[in-house]
């Protein structure tokens, strides 16, 4: 079985929410995510679901990316993806949440800011249930896209590869916070055996 995974494809990571974490072009990936999902048997999504009291929040963008001395929040970020806010919503063009086969919400605790969708904690000890659900549905291949390539998409893809799934990363279905981050993410994913493809058309030929 093949699953397609929309990782954190939320408005908070697009220019639609300029005060949050806008990733250039983040609102342009819905068609590619839909095209890759059309090649899969199952479609799943993760959503950041933060809360207003999160300990890692800083007021301004120039205060972001500072190291934090906490095992489960490694960096500061501005407020984003608060459950119930506009930024929490999936990007325009994606199905409504109830049309997915499995959904995972992450980053709900005040002091925990995970990147990967498979674990609630940075040490990758507390499962969110994604891996177990995929195994239960006899999935062996996962097609991955979403936001942002250099943080949550990369970490999720690496976690899935480590768990033994065959992982394809659809570059056209992702956007990155930084170019350097994208290059490093691609390097780490290739090293982990993840197959990078340019778009869903290339996936269809695999």
What tokens appear for 29 in the block? 């990936």
Binder among 44, 152, 174, 203 for ligand VGL (CB under 6 A)? 152
Total count of residues recorded for the chain: 206
Stretch that binds ligand VGL, among 34-42, 122-130, 143-151, 190-198 (CB under 6 A): 143-151
CB closer to ligand VGL, 29 vs 148:
148
- Please, which residue, 6 or 8, has the CB nearer to ligand VGL? 8
Q: Does 117 bind ligand VGL (CB under 6 A)?
A: no
Q: In whole angstroms, how close is the CB of 146 to ligand VGL at the nearest point?
A: 8
CA-based angle 149:153:155, to the nearest 5? Answer: 115
Contact flag: residue 32 with ligand VGL (CB under 6 A): no
129 φ/ψ sector (left φ>0, alpha ψ -120 to 50, else beta): left
Tell me which stretch binds ligand VGL (CB under 6 A): 66-74, 132-140, 145-153, 184-192. 145-153
Candidate segments 36-44, 124-132, 148-156, 178-186, binder of ligand VGL by CB under 6 A: 148-156
What is the longest distance spanned by two Cα atoms in the chain?
A: 46
Contacting positions for ligand VGL (CB under 6 A): 8, 13, 21, 48, 77, 147-148, 151-152
């Amino acid at each position: 079985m093949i699953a397609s995974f929309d990782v954190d494809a939320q408005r908070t990571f697009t220019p639609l929410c300029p005060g949050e974490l806008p990733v250039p072009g983040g609102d342009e990936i819905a068609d590619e995510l839909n095209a890759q999902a059309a090649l899969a048997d199952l479609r799943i999504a993760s959503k950041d679901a933060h809360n207003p009291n999160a300990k890692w929040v800083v007021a301004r963008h120039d205060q972001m990316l500072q190291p934090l001395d906490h095992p489960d929040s490694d960096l500061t970020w501005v407020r984003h993806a608060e459950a119930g806010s506009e930024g929490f919503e999936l990007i325009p063009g994606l199905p409504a949440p109830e049309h997915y086969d499995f959904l995972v919400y992450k980053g709900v605790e005040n002091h925990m800011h995970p990147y990967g969708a498979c674990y609630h904690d940075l040490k990758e000890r507390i499962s969110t249930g994604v891996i177990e659900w995929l195994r239960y549905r006899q999935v062996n291949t996962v097609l991955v896209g979403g936001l942002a390539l250099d943080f949550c998409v990369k970490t999720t893809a690496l976690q899935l590869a480590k768990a033994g799934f065959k992982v394809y990363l659809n570059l056209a279905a992702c956007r990155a916070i930084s170019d350097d981050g994208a290059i490093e993410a691609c390097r780490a994913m290739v090293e982990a055996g993840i197959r990078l493809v340019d778009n869903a058309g290339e996936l269809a030929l695999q």
